[in-house]
Amino acid sequence: MKNIVFLILISVMEISCSTPTYKTGDIIFHTSKSQQSEMLQMVTKSDLTHVGVIVYKESIPYVFEAVQPVKLTPLTTFIKRGVGSKYIVMRNKKPLTSLELELMNKYGEKQVGKSYDIKFQWGDKYIYCSELVWKIYDSAGIKLCDLKSFNDFEISDSSTKQVITDRYGDSFDPNELVVAPIDLYKSNKLKKIYSNY
């Protein structure tokens, strides 16, 4: 009987130790199951195709994410939507101050309901996932990474060119400022706190 109780206690301890504790402001990445995910993997040379910012509301974890539309998604739902429920969580190396968190939350709240930007343009009318995360941090004066342009990514593949033609027609600007999930992941301001990839 003592052995059984001991084994149960060990199992509970292993589960609690393997369950990470997240904080408001943590950034969560996964491989999306969306139609454009495969193209994004090819263009960015990364499996990370979707990203959001974790925020707690009344002690419940949510994710600010740009889908259609921008919304607050329960963390568990966000995780389950990723391929194989695999995800990575990164945290700002320098602890976020209460003012920074307040500014980030205010910016995120203002974006809720905004339409997803299928053209990945650097504006304020529409917004895409990594742009949302970058701008949430920027609202608190934190520049996570330098912006790139479409020319910095692999866009010469015929299938990618077709998507570009379908989405942009003749209005595609290869010098448009953009940021990809992998750019955020590589930020020297962040540290990895969890991954089950």
List own/partner pairs for 141-147 with CB under 8 A and 24 or more apart.
141/100, 141/103, 142/92, 142/100, 142/189, 144/184, 144/187, 144/189, 144/190, 145/179, 145/183, 145/184, 145/186, 145/187, 145/189, 146/183, 147/122, 147/177, 147/178, 147/179
With bands split at pLDDT 50, 70 and 90, how would you rate the model's confidence at 2?
low
- Helices in the chain by DSSP H: which ranges? 2-18, 37-44, 75-81, 98-111, 129-138, 158-168, 181-185
The pLDDT of residue 14 is above 80: no
CA distance 104 to 67: 18
Spatial strand order of the sheet with 88-92 comes to 70-74, 60-66, 50-57, 27-30, 88-92, 190-195
Query: Which residues 6+ apart lie within 8 Å of 26 measured at CB?
Result: 53, 54, 89, 90, 91, 193
Q: Residue 142 is encoded by which pair of tokens? A: 């934190």
Torsion of CA 182, 186, 72, 96, to 10 degrees: -170
The predicted pLDDT at position 19 comes to 53
Rg (C-alpha) for the chain, rounded Å, is 19
* Cα gap 17→194, rounded to integer Å: 12
Round to whole Å and give the CA distance between 110 and 107.
5
Is the pLDDT at 60 greater than 60, yes or no?
Answer: yes
Residues in the chain: 197
What pTM, to 2 d.p., does this model score? 0.89
Domains in the chain, ordered, with CATH?
Answer: 24-195 (3.90.1720.10)
Q: What is the pLDDT of residues 149-191, one digit of tens each?
A: 999 999 998 989 999 999 999 999 999 999 999 999 999 999 9
Q: CA-CA distances (angstroms) from residue 85 to 125, 175, 195?
A: 31, 34, 11
Better pLDDT: 22 or 14: 22
pLDDT band, residue 12 (cuts 50/70/90)? very low
Average pLDDT, the chain: 91
What tokens were used for 128? 């895409």
